[in-house]
Amino acid sequence: MAYNKINTIIDGPLLLKHAIQSHIEPQLPRNIINKLVKKRLIKTIKKAYSNVPFYKEYYDGYKIDVTNINSVNDIKNLPFLLKEHVRQNFPGKLLNIHTNLDKCYISGTTGSTGKSVNFAYSKSTFFFYLCTSLRVYTMIGYKPWYKMAFIKYTPLPSLNIPCLPLFKTYHIPSIAPIDKQMELLREYRPDLLAGYASIIYEMAHNLTENDRKIIRPKIISLNSELSTIEEREFISQAFSCPVYDEYSTEETWMIASQCKYKNYHIFLDNVYVEFLDDEGKDVGEGEIGEIVLTTLRSPVMPFIRYKIGDIGSYTLEECPCGRHFPVLKSFEGRADDIFILPNGKKISSLKLLNTFTKFIKSDPKLMNEFKFVQEKFDYAVIYLIPGEEYSEERFKELINQLNIILEKIVKIEIKIVDSINNQGKIKRKAIESLVSKRNK
């Protein structure tokens, strides 16, 4: 992510307003939360139709009369926004006509296909986003006097007030080598460590006995990547502190985040989330569906019914933490990393990843690195950098388990390699399906 360099003078009153509001809203009764969502959703759509040329053309093409949209259910007739639309129409038609792009933040994501998607948001939206990020941490016990260290590509603007020991933030560059990152960690000794799951996992592996005495975070918050429960447990044990996770995308910012009870509360004040089946109909509570998002706070460039490519389910059960935002019950990972079997069945990448993790946990030196790629419907390859204690026998057991998951109809081959090409991407991607990408 790269921000264009606009003046980031913190607007105190606006920030305070967002900070208070974003901490009160999750505690409101559900009927009031739903009313707020409805109001913001309808406003977003009507404003987008009047001010964003893309939506006017797109909806006119479907003969949609947006004046008829007066309830949450009325949005079901709106066609989806796809990444391709964003790529083709940014900035041009996708920007609010009243926007001065020079005064906006411009950001981008490479996404899983390697093709970039760029987008913009206003300063006011950015301040709101910062407050939702703050809420991610307050939900897990962060206090303003904690020292925070973020592992990010670019530093976040600091909220630190000079002379006051509050909101102290430090930046650990995500692309720095691990030795440098460990050095910074020893220097900053943060109370809260936040960043990419794979990097913090690597840090956990690199902690020495001495490090454990001086690096003592109170909480760790993982972001940006899918992590397994086993990985989070490993990190938690290594750093002797609780580890939490959040779910966000570059385009929409925070979607859901764990509270102390490890429930992922959906940030309904930021995004409206739909869970849909293959025909675009709502799935029921607890059923797996494709996640479709509508941003509620970014009038400069709203994303309406945006197909982000993830799948999951929700529950309306109350959480003991007292927040009334619904809970993302299962998060099955990127839809485009799902293996599609020759019989059409879909296998979640998390299930495959967990199988590898299980073996790594019992045999830590079995493999150094791997990447499991479904290249054809009936053919997948494990690219493998073997570990010091690689054993063909043990690997056969792993493949047997993968075969069971893949219903024995996908041929699995192992290719021993010297390095695994991640195409310079920061995000790790251990499970990839070229088949589901081609079918997108």
| Of residues 321 and 341, the one with the C-beta less far from Zn ion | 321
Report residue 318 as tokens. Answer: 């109350």
Report residue 12 as tokens. Answer: 């105190």
The least CB distance from residue 138 to Zn ion, in Å, is 12
The least CB distance from residue 14 to Zn ion, in Å, is 28
| Of residues 171 and 260, the one with the C-beta less far from Zn ion | 260
The least CB distance from residue 325 to Zn ion, in Å, is 8
Burial of 227-255, coded b for 16+ CB within 10 Å and e otherwise, reads: bbeebbebbeebbebbbbbbbbbebbbbb
Q: Determine the Cα–Cα distance for residues 195 and 221; give it in Å rounded to an integer.
A: 7
What are the residues facing 271 on neighbouring strands? 295
Closest CA to 273 of 105, 34, 109, 49: 34
How many of the other CB atoms lie within 10 Å of CB of 424?
A: 8
Residue bearing tokens 């081609």: 438
The least CB distance from residue 223 to Zn ion, in Å, is 18
| Of residues 27 and 368, the one with the C-beta less far from Zn ion | 27
Query: E strands, 137-263, where?
Result: 148-152, 169-173, 192-196, 219-223, 243-249, 253-258
Q: Are strands 411-416 and 346-347 parallel, antiparallel or unpaired?
A: unpaired
The least CB distance from residue 222 to Zn ion, in Å, is 17
| Of residues 105 and 247, the one with the C-beta less far from Zn ion | 247
**In the complex, which residues of this chain contact Zn ion (CB under 5 A)?**
259, 261, 263, 319, 321, 323
The least CB distance from residue 327 to Zn ion, in Å, is 7
The least CB distance from residue 26 to Zn ion, in Å, is 9
| Of residues 192 and 256, the one with the C-beta less far from Zn ion | 256
| Of residues 153 and 261, the one with the C-beta less far from Zn ion | 261
Residues 6+ apart with CB under 8 A from 334: 112, 226, 309, 310, 349
Task: Say if residues 299 and 92 touch (Cβ distance below 8 Å).
Answer: no
Report the run of H or E that residue 380 belongs to, with start and end. Answer: strand 379-386
Within the chain, how many helices (H) and strands (E) appear?
12, 19
| Of residues 217 and 326, the one with the C-beta less far from Zn ion | 326
| Of residues 32 and 404, the one with the C-beta less far from Zn ion | 32
The least CB distance from residue 220 to Zn ion, in Å, is 18
| Of residues 263 and 433, the one with the C-beta less far from Zn ion | 263
Q: Determine the Cα–Cα distance for residues 321 and 69; give it in Å rounded to an integer.
A: 34
The least CB distance from residue 314 to Zn ion, in Å, is 14
Burial of 147-158, coded b for 16+ CB within 10 Å and e otherwise, reads: bbbbbbeeeeee
